[in-house]
Amino acid sequence: MHSSKSVAEPVRDEIRRIDDVISVGEDLDFQRRWWRFEKLAWLILVIVLAADALGAFGRGWLAGAERHSADGSLDVRYERVERAGTPSVMTVEFAPSAIEGRTMRLFSSLNIVNELGAQRIIPQPETSAIGPRDITYEFAGTGSPAVASIQLQPSFPGIHHIELQVPGKPAIRADILVLP
């Protein structure tokens, strides 16, 4: 009934031997494949870091973009790659041809507010009129070049198509990729 061994005696595990070699579940073929994968993974991670440093994932040299309207009335500097929840600035520069009297008007697709999270516009527009899929800002201007900065903070990852124009002039269209 009872084992001859005392309960106080420590348990000694037997390690199985196969062909007189200890069997502990080692799998050197798997481990060698893992080591190869590990080297490849580190190489990829270094490339990812280098790409990030260059701005491929936003906030850097590669992410910066600039577009001009066909008639040169508008110039937009923005980041073609943005990050969700991270603030950035889109700069809109009006050429003299965009100034009517002492005002400048900017027509913007509504997704700049809804999806790219336009938080503030500097200088503050005198008026803003909301349409079904657009918003038109009116700024007071005294001279050229006149620059407006739109502070963005995108909420949703994805590709967002934006459109900016001085009403009656050619539009600037651009795609902005927002990363999670």
Residues that bind other proteins (CB under 8 A): 12, 15, 17, 22, 24-28, 30-31, 34-35, 38, 41-42, 45, 85, 180
CA–CA dist 152, 119 (Å, integer): 6
- Beta strand 172-179 with 81-83: parallel, antiparallel or unpaired? parallel
CA–CA dist 140, 155 (Å, integer): 30
Provide the minimum distance between the beta carbon of 42 and other proteins in the complex, in angstroms, as a whole number: 7
Provide the minimum distance between the beta carbon of 170 and other proteins in the complex, in angstroms, as a whole number: 37
Query: Within 55-100, where are the H helices?
Result: none
Provide the minimum distance between the beta carbon of 80 and other proteins in the complex, in angstroms, as a whole number: 22
Provide the minimum distance between the beta carbon of 39 and other proteins in the complex, in angstroms, as a whole number: 10
Of 34 and 126, the one with the shorter C-beta distance to other proteins is 34
CA–CA dist 68, 173 (Å, integer): 10
CA–CA dist 93, 160 (Å, integer): 21
Of 101 and 180, the one with the shorter C-beta distance to other proteins is 180
Provide the minimum distance between the beta carbon of 26 and other proteins in the complex, in angstroms, as a whole number: 5
Containing 29, the helix (H) or strand (E) segment is helix 28-54
Of 117 and 125, the one with the shorter C-beta distance to other proteins is 117
Residues paired with 177 in a beta bridge: 81, 159
Of 85 and 123, the one with the shorter C-beta distance to other proteins is 85
Of 23 and 103, the one with the shorter C-beta distance to other proteins is 23
Nearest to 57 by CA among 34, 33, 86: 86
